[in-house]
A and B are shown apart, each in its own frame.
Chain A
Amino acid sequence: QQQVKQSPQSLIVQKGGISIINCAYENTAFDYFPWYQQFPGKGPALLIAIRPDVSEKKEGRFTISFNKSAKQFSLHIMDSQPGDSATYFCAASMDYRDDKIIFGKGTRLHILP
């Protein structure tokens, strides 16, 4: 119940295309769903996050879509650029005071120039 399942494991997209990464969770107590971006040899950094009271959140070219009934959420990267090539992690946490975040296993994204 504590798992967050992420797919695909790797993804190749043409420059200008849409990159889509999906995640699913079981525990309905999760109430915070962030996405982290990690470049090779660096630590992850928060990209965008959503709470279950909204179905979509957009920041620039990055959008999170959230389906509470299906217990799924996804990251869409519009107009994908070579600089977006990185590993992306979805995550979930239950309570802001708990502070422990459950991470998916990551998606390695490569954008072809």
Chain B
Amino acid sequence: DGGITQSPKYLFRKEGQNVTLSCEQNLNHDAMYWYRQDPGQGLRLIYYSQIVNDFQKGDIAEGYSVSREKKESFPLTVTSAQKNPTAFYLCASSDYSNEQFFGPGTRLTVL
């Protein structure tokens, strides 16, 4: 089955720790995205990548980092510089048809 997988589903982090969220797709899509979702805030774009080895900051990139070494993978690292990281994180991918396909999400909680 083609699709996007995110892991883990739930993640707990202590303050001051970096954590990495995984996102993998087998849809052969060039573009991949990371969004953060908070109640009442909609989907806010963190980073996106339109091609391997290239990525751009979205609207709320501070405190986050990404890499795009493989077409299938776009991991997101939440660094200790992110002051309020507790949120639901969504990864998506798209081809040039505009439709974005979303993964099931990772819920990150800072203890």
Contact = CB atoms under 8 A, between A and B. Distances in A.
Interface in B61-111: 90, 92, 94, 96-105
Contacts, number: 52
Interface in A93-112: 93, 96-97, 99-101, 103-106
A89 interface: yes
A103 B100 CA distance: 12
* Binding site secondary structure of chain B: strand
Contacts of B31: 99
A42 interface: yes
Contact of A34 (B43, B99, B104): B99
Interface string A68-101: 0000000000000000000001000100110111
B42 A42 contact: no
A42 B6 CA distance: 11
A50 B103 CA distance: 23
Given A43-B90, A99-B50, A34 B42 contact: no
Interface residues of A, number: 23
Contacts of B104: 41-43
B40 interface: yes
Given A42-B105, A43-B90, A44-B90, A101 B41 contact: no
Interface of A: 6, 9, 32, 34, 36, 41-46, 49, 89, 93, 96-97, 99-101, 103-106
Interface of B: 4, 31, 40-43, 45, 48, 50, 90, 92, 94, 96-105
Top 8 A-B pairs ranked by shortest CB distance? Answer: A43-B102, A105-B42, A103-B43, A99-B31, A32-B98, A106-B42, A44-B102, A46-B99
